[in-house]
Amino acid sequence: MAVDETFTDLDPATIAVRDMVGASRELTGRMAALMGMNANDMAAIGELTITGPMGVADLARHLGIRSASATAMVDRLEHAGHVVRTRDAVDRRRVTVTETAAARAASFKAWAPTIGAIDAVCRDLDDHDRDVVVRFLDDITAILRTNP
C-alpha cells in the first residue's frame, strides 16, 4: 500500500500496521465471497465462533451495527443455515444466537490456508522475537478495541 501523503511522518511500523489492517479487511471480503455471504455476515460468524453464543443485541454491539440491522442479519444467516436461535431456558424472551457446526466447518475450511501460512511465519520466530511480536500485537489490539 502506498504511503498516504498526509501521514509521511509516521513510523514505518505504524504504516505496516495500517497496511495489515487494510489487508485483513480485504481478506475478510474475499473469504465472505468464497462462502457466499457479505463481509458483515462473515464478521458475525467469526464473532460467534470466537466469543460464543450471544443475543442479537450483543452481536450488534460487538459488530458496531444497529440492533435492527443485526436482526435482519441473523434472519439471513438463520435462513442460510449458518446460525440457530434458541430461547433462554429461564427468560423465554431472551434469544441466543449460535453458529452451526456446518458454518464453523465451512469457515474453518475457508480460513485454514491463511491461518496455516500465518502460523508458519510465526513458528519461524525465535523465542525473543515471538515475545516482542506478541507484546506488540497485543498492544495494538488493545488500542483497536478501545478507541472509537
pLDDT in tens, 85-144: 998 888 888 899 999 999 989 888 889 999 999 999 999 999 999 999 999 999 999 998
- How far apart are alpha carbons 19 and 57 in whole angstroms? 31
User: Residue 9 pLDDT more than 70?
Assistant: yes
Q: How many CB atoms lie within 10 A of CB 106?
A: 19
User: Residue 53 pLDDT more than 90?
Assistant: yes
| Cα-based distances in Å from 99 to 45, 48, 59, 75 | 6, 6, 12, 13
Q: What tens digit of pLDDT does each residue of 79-91 get?
A: 999 999 998 888 8
**Count of H helices and E strands in the chain?**
6, 2
Q: What does the longest C-alpha to C-alpha distance in the chain come to?
A: 56
CATH of domain 5-107: 1.10.10.10
Say what the pTM is.
0.75
Cα torsion 88, 42, 144, 5 to 10°: value is -160
What is the domain partition of the chain in residue ranges? Answer: 5-107
Predicted confidence at residue 41, as pLDDT, reads 93
